Structure 1
Amino acid sequence: MKRKFKTGRLMLIVPLLCQAVNVFSQAPKQYLSQPLIKSIYTADPSVHVFNGKIYIYPSHDINAGIPENDNGDHFAMRDYHILSMNSIDGPVTDHGVALDIKDIPWAGRQLWAPDCAYNNGTYFLYFPVKDKKDVFHIGVATSKSPVGPFKAEPQPIKGSFSIDPAVFTDTDGQSYMYFGGIWGGQLQRWAGGKYNPNGSKTDLQKDNQPALNCKVVKLKANMKEFDGPVQDVIILDAAGKPLLGKDHNRRFFEGSWMHKYNGKYYFTYSTGDTHLLAYAIGDRPYGPFHYKGIFLKPVQGWTTHHSIVEFKGKWYLFYHDTQLSGKTHLRNVKVTPLYHQPDGSIAMIDPFKPTTTVKK
């Protein structure tokens, strides 16, 4: 025998069901990890292990009161603070200002994501900053200490452009720099090999052509100059074809990093406007690299920028989000374990831990 719901009862049940679904879908989430430091805002962590200790080279976010836009003008950083840790779960030391924009002779504004490398008794801090004509180039500063202070060279690295330098030193001692970022990073304005001040503010908008590529170049032994031509970092799909410009879930945007695992080269990067961290694997530092997938789901905040490091036999992902401020330009650095699977893939990381809490 079929039962019939009275219209009035059905009208009562449906809103209650919708309310229950809505409450469940909006259940609070817990962050996977907590900010490493809360006294200042930090982002874009480039992390290295020097002499058995963890050193973090982040951007130092400030509230400059600049409206948010696609050029990234609201990211108006002016100096770098270097952080260190003796252990992953241990306290974090802020070593203060390591380099200030006022001490960079050619700099105009916006000290964005840096990186650091070591060679022959000297630490090299690589940084992108706009020159006095508002064009991004990459500079280098040196110190005998991993925490500085660093002294900047009087001019940017010859042939450098765009943002996000990441220096990888291979097991044979050769170092390479990966760099570039579209939109505010200006990479799209260098499409012809020369800066076009009237170029697109976002990308080339050629959806069915190969996407813009990250750049890679060998460094000379002095670590201050490029050794040879700048090359494209080609990312191929499963069919062996370059990723297209319209493929925003997989194409390179900014924030590249390189690490080596089991003899393979892992090129990792941010997809930017789709807020993912992706990876591709190759057999040599120059690539080509074959796209393999995503390993970090979107964080809280517009973008993410990361590094991957091995410490005491375990691998870790350093990244950032906006847990402390809730504002795009005021971020905080975090760390979480990273796992390589037996087949060489990287296990997926969710920056949130969903809960089943229901508000009464």
Structure 2
Amino acid sequence: MLRYVSWGLLSALTLLLLLLLLLLSPARAQNPFITSQFSADPSARVFNGRVYVYPSHDIPGGPGRGRADWFVMEDYHVFSSANLTDWTDHGVIITQNQVPWVQPDSYSMWAPDCVLRRGKYYFYFPTTPRDTTGGGGFRIGVAVADQPTGPFVPQPQPLAGVRGIDPNVFIDKDGQAYLYWSQGSIFGAKLKDNMLELAEPPRTLGELPTEGLKEGPFLFERRGTYYLTYPHVAHQTERLEYATSTSPLGPFRVRGVIMDESPTGCWTNHQSVLEFRNQWYLFYHHNDFSPEFDKNRSVRLDSLFFEPDGAIRKVTPTLRGVGQTAARQPIQLDRYSRLSSTDATIDFLDPANRFRGWKTVFTGPQGWVQYNAVSFGPARPRALTLRATAAAPGAAVQLRLDGPRGPVLARVAVPPGRGWQELSVPLTTTSPTGTHALFVAPAGPAPVEIDWVRFE
């Protein structure tokens, strides 16, 4: 009996320890973090200690399915993660053909949001209505569920008195809920306690820039300051800006830019801001899987920081993403921290199926790539495996720790002409522990291509 209790207690303690390690493990996301489909306009929320992201879902348009040259969206998925790395697609939660008031062939299920209120989850979404009496344009509807993943039941009619897109809901510390949306300008109003009706006429948040398109409001509170974030076309494409207030409905003071315009010309951006395990994050989108067409987008996240006076420090978008990457998981070098300006490039593994991801291509002897924050942990690895391919005899790659002058971890010969190969070699130096950068460069004739690296 004592033995049984002891082993039972030990098993319980072991399970508890594993759970604590999971909860305390650092986030280590790479961008984009949804790699199975196009996604945009991410609304990120924490429900019961887990992050849920409600994005819009871009699909390629064509005959009978929206405009080929425009945004085409017919449904919504929800994704969730306990660590910002391993994401679960919970499937479709709302589709245009299941909402009574929606024009079924409109393909306009644009940026949504979701909040938890008194045990119910309220999902807000904009789209084109069947009934255009009283004017055209978008309306905003609500669907309600008992779980963050649904099933969501849409209300029979859209919200009265609201016309526009990009709904965002904020619930203040006193329990008052607010709805924000955009239609050229940005609007806000209190919601009734049922979360399904406005409690007052909408008001224009008029302290924001008057020139250029503004849309996509997302409001959050930190230390008594209300931050209203929004995309704004100040020049040619959207950048992310913010304003602050001591009240959820303003007046607001424009403070600055959170993220500059896309360097590759993606016309839109759309954001949400989230605190998770004492770190703030910015969720946004870019057209990673569709660089030639910016109406098919993909969601990203990067860390966000505040200055001592409460100002938001400008976020530089990265491929590397956030946190640490476990050394014993495949390390996608193409989501690099730094890349040489010559003799190295990133390309799709399969141009016909871009969701398979990318590869690092060394085209000459000066090429290199650095991937920061690889966590080796306390147990020392003994070997390294990489997936690579090469064309020329004598091709090889060299892996160093912490930069171009760091200790050599391994040199891996890549036999030519055999396609993609998984090659394993023992490490040639003292096995590392802790967290380090990984520096990889060719050590022989180019080209040589790498899909991923993993330590054993």
What is the TM-score normalised by the length of structure 1? Answer: 0.75
Tell me by how many angstroms 1:314 deviates.
Answer: 1.0
Instruction: For 2:340 and 2:174, locate their aligned partners in 1 and report how far apart those are by CA, in whole Å.
Output: 50
For structure 2, the residue ranges without an aligned partner over 5 or more in a row are 1-28, 319-336, 344-363, 365-456
Instruction: For 1:38 and 1:354, locate their aligned partners in 2 and report how far apart those are by CA, in whole Å.
Output: 22
1:293 alignment partner in structure 2: 256
Instruction: For 1:129 and 1:292, locate their aligned partners in 2 and report how far apart those are by CA, in whole Å.
Output: 31
Instruction: For 2:304 and 2:177, locate their aligned partners in 1 and report how far apart those are by CA, in whole Å.
Output: 24
1:21 alignment partner in structure 2: none
1:270 alignment partner in structure 2: 231
DSSP 3-state at the match of 2:128: strand
2:295 alignment partner in structure 1: 329
Q: Which has the higher contact order (CA 8 A, sep 6+)?
A: 1
Matched, 1:84 2:80: yes
Whether the 8 Å contact between 1:112 and 1:127 is mirrored in structure 2 is yes
2:402 alignment partner in structure 1: none
DSSP 3-state at the match of 1:107: coil
Report the residue type matching 1:266 in the other structure: Y
Report Cα offsets for 1:328-356 as digits up to 9, x if no partner. 11111111100011011111112257755
Report Cα offsets for 1:207-249 as digits up to 9, x if no partner. xxxxxx300011111101111110111225xxxxxx332xx3x
Which has the higher Rg, Structure 1 or Structure 2?
2
Instruction: For 1:302 and 1:234, locate their aligned partners in 2 and report how far apart those are by CA, in whole Å.
Output: 24
After superposition, residues 216-235 of structure 1 pair within 5 angstroms as: 216-235=188-207
DSSP 3-state at the match of 2:170: strand
Report the residue type matching 2:32 in the other structure: P
DSSP 3-state at the match of 2:73: coil
1:357 alignment partner in structure 2: 341
Report the residue type matching 1:338 in the other structure: L
Instruction: For 1:154 and 1:120, locate their aligned partners in 2 and report how far apart those are by CA, in whole Å.
Output: 21
2:95 alignment partner in structure 1: 100
DSSP 3-state at the match of 1:84: strand
Alignment partner of 2:284 out of 307, 319, 322: 319
Q: 1:275 to 1:355 in 2, by over 3 A?
A: farther
Report Cα offsets for 1:29-66 as digits up to 9, x if no partner. xxx95111111111000111011110001001101132
Instruction: For 1:75 and 1:181, locate their aligned partners in 2 and report how far apart those are by CA, in whole Å.
Output: 17
Q: Number of paired residues? A: 282
Matched, 1:344 2:286: no
DSSP 3-state at the match of 2:57: strand
Instruction: For 1:154 and 1:308, locate their aligned partners in 2 and report how far apart those are by CA, in whole Å.
Output: 30
Tell me by how many angstroms 1:318 deviates.
Answer: 0.4
2:374 alignment partner in structure 1: none
For structure 1, the residue ranges without an aligned partner over 5 or more in a row are 1-31, 69-73, 183-212, 237-242
Tell me by how many angstroms 1:117 deviates.
Answer: 1.1
DSSP 3-state at the match of 2:166: coil
Report the residue type matching 1:55 in the other structure: Y
Instruction: For 1:34 and 1:333, locate their aligned partners in 2 and report how far apart those are by CA, in whole Å.
Output: 8
Q: Percent identity?
A: 39
Instruction: For 1:76 and 1:218, locate their aligned partners in 2 and report how far apart those are by CA, in whole Å.
Output: 31
DSSP 3-state at the match of 1:229: coil
Report the residue type matching 1:48 in the other structure: R
Which structure 1 residue ranges, 4+ long, deviate > 4 Å from structure 2? 352-356
